[in-house]
Amino acid sequence: MTPTAIAVIGAGPAGLMAAETLAAAGLAVTVHDRMPSPGRKLLIAGRGGLNLTHSEPLERFLSRYGPARARLEPALRAFPPTALTEWAEGLGQPLFTGTSGRIFPRALKASPLLRAWLARLAGQGVTLRFRHRWEGWDEAGALRLATPEGPLTLRPAATLLALGGASWPRLGSDGAWTRFFPEAVTPLRPANCGFLCAWSEVFLRRFEGQPLKRIALEFRGQRVRGEALVTATGLEGGALYALSAPLREAIAAEGSATPTLDLRPDDPPAALAARLDGPRGGLSLANHLRRAGLAPIAIGLVQEALHGGATQPLSRLVKALPLRLTGTAPIERAISTAGGLRWDGVDEHLMLRGRPGTFIAGEMLDWEAPTGGYLLQACFSTGVAAAHGIIRHLRG
C-alpha cells in the first residue's frame, strides 16, 4: 500500500523535525524549500556554537516565553529540552552544558548535526525538493508552488507550513507568506535585535566596532548582565537582546526608550562615589575616570553623556548612564522575529482554522523568546507537535 503523502513547506528546524516525526509514523513526506539547500539559518546559528537548548528547570524555562507560554507549553512539555538533547545525541552529536546552563554540541557548529540529520531523513524515505517557493492555494484549495520547471500544484493529504519569520531573509525566511493571511497575522517585528542610538562623530570615530564587556543594562525594573557592541547606528549584543521586547514596545508606544547602563556592575555605589565624586586635582576627566578603573570605551560613554547635558555626579553616571534609544535595527539583522500567525488562527493541535489538514509550526506562530536555546527549542517542539496533529487528523 502506498503511504499517505504529506507536504512540508520549509526545511528549517521545525519543518525537518516534523518531517522526521511524520516519516517515523509511516507517512510519505516531501519537504519543499525555496532555497537551494536545507537548514541555512541553522547553519548560521552554528557559527555561534549552536545553542540548542537550556538546562534550567522546566518551569523556569517555560517562563521565558512570556505571553505565548500558555499556547507553547503543551508542545514544550511533550518535547522538552531533555528530549531534544537525547535526539541530538542519537544523531551521534555529543553535547555539553556551558557555565551559563546553555547546551551546545561538542563540535560547536551545526554542520555535523545537519549532515547526520539529513542522512537519517534520507534513510526514512523523506524527499527534499529545493528552489520550490510556496505561492499559497489555488481556487480549489490545492498548494501552489513555483519551481525551476514551472508552476506546480499539489494535493497532499495534509500540509505542514514552517516558513519562519523575517529575520535574515537571505537565508530563506523572508516573511512573504504573511500576504496569504491578511487578517490573521500580528505584524512581524525584530526580536533579539540591536537598537538605534545617536553617537557623536568623535565617539564613533574612536569606538565603532568595539565591545562593552561586563556591563549591566536596566529598563523598567528588568536588569540583565552581559555585553554589547557599539555599531555605526547604535548598540547590539546580548544585553540588548535580553531586553529587546520591552525596549521595542516602549519605542513603538512613546517614540524612544531610555534604559540605564551600569559600566561597573561589580563596584558598590558608595565605593565609586568615594573615588569619583571628590576633587580630582589637576587630573583631566579622562584620567580621573581611568584611575577609577574605567576602560576607554566606558570613559567615552560618560563623556558622551556629559556633552549631551547630563548633570548627575560621575559615580551616578557610571552606575546608571542613560541611553536614549530611538528605534530598532532593521528586521533583516535581527536574530529572530516577534509576531506571526495569531494563536486564535490555529487549534490546540496547531491546525489552521478554516483550512482542515493544514498545520503551522516554528517562527510562523506569534511568539518570541530570548536567546539561550529557547528559540531553537520552541521550533523543534512545535514541529513535533504539528506532526502529531497531522497524524491525529489523518487517523480521524
The answer to whether 257 touches 323, Cβ cutoff 8 Å, is no
Residue 103 and residue 82 in contact, taking contact as beta carbons nearer than 8 Å: no
Q: What's the pLDDT band for 48 if we cut at 50, 70, 90? A: confident
Amino acid sitting at position 77: R
Reported as a pLDDT band with limits 50, 70 and 90, residue 3 is: low
Is-contact 297 264, C-beta < 8 A? Answer: no
- Mean pLDDT, range 187-216, rounded to an integer: 96
- Tens of pLDDT, residues 246-289: 999 999 999 999 999 999 999 999 999 999 998 888 889 999 99
Q: Under 8 Å CB-to-CB from 312, ≥6 apart: which residues?
A: 320
- CB atoms under 10 Å from CB of 211, counted, come to 14
pLDDT tens string 86-126: 999 999 999 999 999 999 999 999 999 999 999 999 999 99
* String of DSSP letters for 35-76: SSSS-HHHHHHHTTT---EE-S-HHHHHHTTGGGHHHHHHHH
* Mean pLDDT for all residues in the chain: 95
Percent of the chain with pLDDT over 70: 99
Q: SS3 sequence, 272-312?
A: HHHHHCCCCCCCCHHHHHHHCCCCHHHHHHHHHHHHCCCCC
pLDDT tens profile 50-82: 999 999 999 999 999 999 999 999 999 999 999
What angle (nearest 5°) sits at the alpha carbon of residue 323, between those of residues 291 and 99? 70
Q: Is the per-residue pLDDT at 292 higher than 90?
A: no
With a pLDDT cut of 90, the percent of the chain lying above it is: 92
pLDDT in tens, 312-370: 999 999 999 999 999 999 999 999 999 999 999 999 999 999 999 999 999 999 999 99
Q: Is the pLDDT of residue 1 over 80?
A: no
Superfamily of the domain at 5-190+336-394: FAD/NAD(P)-binding domain (3.50.50.60)
Task: Report the predicted TM-score, pTM, of the whole model to 2 decimal places.
Answer: 0.93
Domain spans of the chain, in order of start: 5-190+336-394, 195-328
Place of cell 500544484: 153
53 has which bridge partners?
A: 103
Rg (CA), the chain: 24
Mean pLDDT of 229-237: 96
133 bridge partner residues:
146
CB of 216 closer than 8 Å to CB of 237:
no
Residues linked to residue 225 through DSSP beta bridges, in sequence order = 216
- Beta-carbon count within 10 A of 120 CB: 17
